[in-house]
Structure 1
Amino acid sequence: MEQRSHYFFAVKLPNETKNMMKGHILALKGSLPFSRWVHHEDLHITLAFLGGAPESKLANADLLVKAALKDTKAFPLKINKLGIFGDIKSPRVFWADTMENEELQLLRGQVFSACKEVGFQLESRPFRPHITLARKWVGETVFQQSQLELWNQLQPEPLSFLANEVVLYQTHLQKTPKYEAVRTYSLQT
């Protein structure tokens, strides 16, 4: 039985960045036992998770997000370190961090506000931009904070890219990669 699709808006990573991250993920997999690693084509920065949504509500969100982003300019982002969510000894999410960026915060605010205006019930926790790399620690020993330093060996300088597209993704849990771009919103370059 097909599970119900979920939708979310996200910053799309350029293909060149995804391919660099693919190499880093392969290297990290050898040292960090997480049960599920994200396919490099699915790497993104979530701006607003919508969950399941009727077509009419998605159409309204599409219109409002498109209007909100029409004058938004592309901006540079830098991936600079690794992080975790969950129990420090057995993290549930392993992610790559972007350096603090006001433009990313503003972009998220535009998308988030547009989705709330349509009536979506959105995450209430403070926005913590990140790129999920893996889920669910399955190591025989506890996770060590020092393992986050592996990034510095893979990428001594921050990995820069231009954030120039926001995408409405649909989730297909039974496929790999599992995120399908439904709409793309190009930012001004």
Structure 2
Amino acid sequence: MPAGNSAISARLFLALWPDGEARAALCAARDVVARTMAGQWVKPDNLHVTLAFLGEVAQERWPGIVRVADAIKVPSFTLTLDRAEFWPRNGIVCLGAGQAPQPLSDLAQGLAQGLKQAGFILDQRPYRPHLTLARKGRSGRTALVLPEPVAWRVDACSLVESRLGREGATYTPRQTWRLQNVEAIPGSGSVG
């Protein structure tokens, strides 16, 4: 976390965090989905694809997350989000990929294995990449093929802090790693 952060713990997750171009394309896709599905829409600044949810993490454990992320060697890739889905069981409206690229699967699996070996407890369900667009969703249909898929060039992953407030959740990337050369991006913050 940035120097001077006096937090004893923080709610953290690792994620694909879109750049401005990808975020604009995701918002355009959200507008298309909003014509047929409803819900409490996620703020544009909070759109992301979770790789691993860590929950509340004590400050002394943060360097362990960094070591795991530092060790991942995965090339950049394109994630094509080509469908919207409504998951009635948990009320989520999300974007999904008809086919997840292998580097994404390798990234999620590598992070999960490293984090488990470092003593973190993760969700046991198989990884299913998705980008949540809305919570408390409603829809008469469960899927929609996007007329214009979002082709998001992914070249980094981020450690993100989640803070809950009156306005809802605020997500702040704390450190980012490039995928193609797997090094911390200068100026992206420091956890250790």
Give matches, 1:137-152, under 5 Å: 137=137, 143-145=139-141, 148-149=143-144, 151-152=145-146
Q: Over aligned residues, Cα RMSD in angstroms? A: 2.1
Give matches, 1:38-49, under 5 Å: 38-49=42-53
Q: CA deviation at 1:110?
A: 1.1
Q: Secondary structure at the match of 2:57?
A: coil
Q: Distance in 2 between matches of 1:103 and 1:167?
A: 16
Contact in 1 for aligned 2:17/2:48 (Cα 8 Å)? yes
Q: Secondary structure at the match of 2:15?
A: strand
Greater fraction of residues in strand: 2
Contact in 2 for aligned 1:168/1:184 (Cα 8 Å)? yes
Letter of the aligned partner of 2:120 in structure 1? F
Letter of the aligned partner of 2:94 in structure 1? W
Q: Distance in 2 between matches of 1:86 and 1:177?
A: 22
Question: Is residue 173 of structure 1 aligned with residue 164 of structure 2?
Answer: yes
Letter of the aligned partner of 2:85 in structure 1? G
Greater fraction of residues in helix: 1
Contact in 2 for aligned 1:14/1:162 (Cα 8 Å)? no
TM-score, normalized by length of structure 1?
0.81
Q: Distance in 2 between matches of 1:21 and 1:179?
A: 17
The aligned counterpart of 1:187 is 179
Q: CA deviation at 1:84?
A: 2.4
Q: CA deviation at 1:158?
A: 2.3
CA deviation map 1:86-134 (0-9, x unaligned): 33xxx51110002322211111011111211211110001111000000
- Correspondence for 2:74 among 60, 72, 75: 72
Q: Secondary structure at the match of 1:21?
A: helix
The aligned counterpart of 1:133 is 133
Q: In the comparison of the two structures, how many residue pairs are matched?
A: 171
> How has the CA–CA distance of structure 1 residues 181 and 108 changed in structure 2, closer, same or farther, with 3 Å as cutoff?
same
CA deviation map 1:10-58 (0-9, x unaligned): 1122221111222332444454331x21111211111110000011211
The aligned counterpart of 1:160 is 151
- Correspondence for 1:84 among 79, 83, 86: 86
> How has the CA–CA distance of structure 1 residues 29 and 159 changed in structure 2, closer, same or farther, with 3 Å as cutoff?
closer
Question: Which sections of structure 2, spanning at least 5 residues, go unmatched?
Answer: 1-8, 182-192
Runs of 4+ in structure 1 deviating by more than 4 angstroms, as ranges, are none
Letter of the aligned partner of 2:15 in structure 1? A
Q: CA deviation at 1:168?
A: 0.4
